[in-house]
Structures are given as C-alpha cells and as structure tokens.
Amino acid sequence: MQDSRPLGIFGGTFDPVHLGHLRLAEEAVESLDLAGIRWIPAGQPKHRAAPHVDATHRLRMVELAVADNPRFAVDAAEVESDASYTVPTLERLRVEFGEGRSLVLLLGADAYAGLAGWHRWQEIFSLAHIAVTHRPGYAIDAATLPPALAEEHVRRFRPDGAAFTSSAAGCIGSFAMTPLAISATDIRERLQAGRSVRYLLPRPVIDYIQTHRLYLRQTPA
Ligand code: ATP
C-alpha cells in the first residue's frame, strides 16, 4: 500500500552536504512523521552566490550521504536542468504526487528568514507546507522577519504538526533538531586551509572530496 504520510522536500546547494543537513532530515522524519524525504540539490541558485563546485559533484555527494537511508531519496531534476527555482520544482512534485498529498518544504531558520527574496515565494503556500527548524545563530521569530513574510508567518503558523497531515499545503510549522553549528562555508574554509573536516560530514563524502580534490580554491568552479 502506498504511504500517504506527508513527504518532506529538502532543497539546498549542499556545497558540500554535511551532518547538519543529515540530522535536520533525520529529525524531521521522526518529529513530523514523514513518509520520507526528497533531497533536491540546486542547479545554479539565482538567489545566492554560485556554488563552489559543479552541480554534478554536489549531487554525487548527496547521493553518497543518503545511500544507507531507505527514507531518503535524491531528486536530480534541478541539477539536470541547471535551474533552482523552488516553485517550478514544487509544481512538478505536485503533478507527480497529486493534489491531495501533503508536501512539506524543510528549511533551516536562516533560509526561512530569506524566503521573501525567493522567486514567486508566495506561491509556495498553495503548493506545500513549510517546516522550519532552528539553526544556531538564527531565530525563528516573526518580529525579526521582513514584513511580508512576518504577515504570512502569523497567519499560517500552526504550533502542532497535525496541520501537515490534515491538508496538502499552506501551513507553516516548526520542528526541533539537535543544534549543530556545522556550516558548508566553515567546511570549505577548513578544506582550503588543509585542516580536518572529520566528523563534520559523512566519511564517503570526505573520501569523494579528497579523490576529486574539491574545495582547494576559493574561486567558483
Ligand atoms: P552555509 O553553511 O554556507 O550557509 P548551508 O549548508 O546553509 O551553507 P545549503 O546547503 O543551501 O547551505 O542549506 C540547505 C538547508 O539546510 C537550508 O535550509 C539551511 O538552512 C539548512 N541547514 C544547513 N546547515 C544547517 C544546520 N547546521 N542546522 C540547521 N539547518 C541547516
């Protein structure tokens, strides 16, 4: 029988993927009772600086990172089309999963705070729910959000996760995760300086970075 529980959607540059991303996804599955998570590495994000390594490398690292988790699947569509707009991606997933399926876009607090800068961001609410989690150094607080997002936040926020199962889209919620101040920027800096990144990202991803000699220079690939 098909699992009808909400499906998590987790996009990012994953430049590179690290244990902060993996714990976010793992704890989202558990606390929001998700059927699983679609990881969607971005092609060439328009709303932030160009990633430091090619999209095919970032995709491969995500595939290696999630390979041993049956609840995680990787979606290569943005990498293959070299695009990374969230709304078209959600429209595609809506067609794939049907109107009634609950889709939950997972965001860290920093990404959520920047949501109002995303292309067609208000259309996200007709396509998916949003679940935000804390990230050390960033608050989830309507008072600190840009006014248009704060308005949506106050209107759509539901303190309990049941909202994600009773409708297909349109609510905002939050979930707790183990605070991990791991960041891709910090990992890239360590790699460039020849310092250890052990225990910050999965071993197969570290091996991949070393084999392909990634992140040795600051300039975009
Ligand atoms: P950087 O560290 O350079 O800012 P990043 O890891 O935040 O990079 P992305 O790969 O695009 O960049 O992040 C994907 C998603 O994961 C975003 O929603 C981001 O908020 C979230 N995220 C990343 N790291 C953490 C963390 N340590 N704790 C919570 N959320 C995180």
Give the pLDDT confidence of 113-141 residue by residue, as tens digits.
Answer: 999 999 999 999 999 999 999 998 888 88
Is pLDDT of 88 > 80?
A: yes
Helix runs in the chain, H state only: 19-32, 55-66, 77-81, 86-97, 109-113, 124-127, 147-156, 163-166, 184-192, 203-211
* The predicted structure's pLDDT at residue 221: 44
pLDDT band at 49 (very low <50, low <70, confident <90, very high): low
- Span 178-189, mean pLDDT? 97
pLDDT of residue 107: 98
Q: Is the CB of 215 under 6 A from ligand 1?
A: no
**More confidently predicted of 83 and 100:** 100
Tokens of 96: 């794939």
Residue 52 is predicted with a pLDDT of 86
Average pLDDT over residues 195-201: 98
Terminal CA-to-CA distance of the chain, rounded, Å? 44
- Which pLDDT score, from 0 to 100, does residue 83 have? 75
Among the atoms of ligand 1, which is closest to the Cα of residue 136?
28
Q: Which of 58, 132, 135, 215 to mutate to test the pocket of ligand 1 (most atoms within 8 A of CB)?
A: 135
174 touches ligand 1 (CB under 6 Å): no
- Does the beta carbon of 13 lie inside 6 Å of ligand 1? yes
C-alpha 186 – ligand 1 centre gap (Å): 11
